[in-house]
A and B are shown apart, each in its own frame.
Chain A
Amino acid sequence: GQNIDQPTEMTATEGAIVQINCTYQTSGFNGLFWYQQHAGEAPTFLSYNVLDGLEEKGRFSSFLSRSKGYSYLLLKELQMKDSASYLCVLMDSNYQLIWGAGTKLIIKP
């Protein structure tokens, strides 16, 4: 079957760095997405990884290891506005999306 695991909640300090991990099991793989979602709003696309390695985009970076079924989202220089839920989303071999439950990130001053 298919499964995604990510922590339910994390807390970090403004200005610091936080890494949100995501592990998955799937029989087919067509990429992994990270989305940011503020309460009451639509998710915002952050990154897409289909090959192993690190993709850097400003303060946000995403890493993928297909052999380990593992990805992480790295947020640097945290700002209060980064307080949100971060969704790890897998695209399977049929191009269907499997959504993680999301990690609620709380940023403290």
Chain B
Amino acid sequence: GAVVSQHPSRVICKSGTSVKIECRSLDFQATTMFWYRQFPKQSLMLMATSNEGSKATYEQGVEKDKFLINHASLTLSTLTVTSAHPEDSSFYICSARGLDEQETQYFGPGTRLLVL
């Protein structure tokens, strides 16, 4: 199956700093990438959907100025958590999908963010 990678796998940062998380599709072109946030033992919460070359679509309640998403190429999307605070500590997971809406989403391994 298709492979999606995320980098870094875990990051610890100080409050007020910004953190960038990369999501890459390694062996296929991802027209659409999704960013999720997961709290312990809860469902993945969709934060935003990004299509290559256009602005991301954010879910209600997600601050677009705080969670900056860039999908500059068909194999790379980045999520930047700006001015991170302890409440932003979470598990961030990306997924990637090809052109067709009915195609499978392939998920990345996740990035664990801890803000001190």
Contact A45 B41 (CB under 8 A): yes
- Decide: B36 and A97 in contact? CB cutoff 8 A: no
Query: Does residue A96 face the partner (Cβ distance < 8 Å to B)?
Result: yes
Interface hub of A39, A48, A97 (most chain B Cβ within 10 A): A97
A67 interface hit (Cβ, 8 Å): no
A96 CA to B94 CA, complexed, in Å:
12
Nearest Cβ in chain A — how far from B82, in angstroms? 23
Task: Give CA–CA (A34, B7) in the complex, Å.
Answer: 24
B105 smallest CB distance to A (angstroms): 8
Q: How far is the CB of B73 from chain A (nearest CB, A)?
A: 23
B104 → chain A closest CB, angstroms: 7
B-side interface size class: 20 to 34
- How many chain A residues sit at the interface, stated as a range, is 10 to 19
Contacts known (A42-B36, A45-B44); A97 close to B107, Cβ less than 8 A: yes
B10 & A102 in contact (Cβ 8 Å cutoff): no
Per a CB cutoff under 8 Å, which of A45, A95, A102 touches B42? Answer: A45
Q: Judging by beta carbons under 8 Å apart, are B44 and A94 in contact?
A: no
A42 to B46, CA, bound (A): 7
Closest 7 CB pairs of A and B: A45-B43, A96-B109, A42-B46, A99-B107, A97-B110, A44-B43, A101-B1
Query: What are 17 residue pairs bridging A and B, where the CB atoms are less than 8 Å apart in the complex?
Result: A35-B43, A37-B105, A39-B102, A42-B34, A42-B36, A42-B43, A43-B44, A45-B42, A45-B44, A95-B10, A95-B91, A96-B9, A96-B109, A97-B93, A97-B109, A97-B110, A101-B1
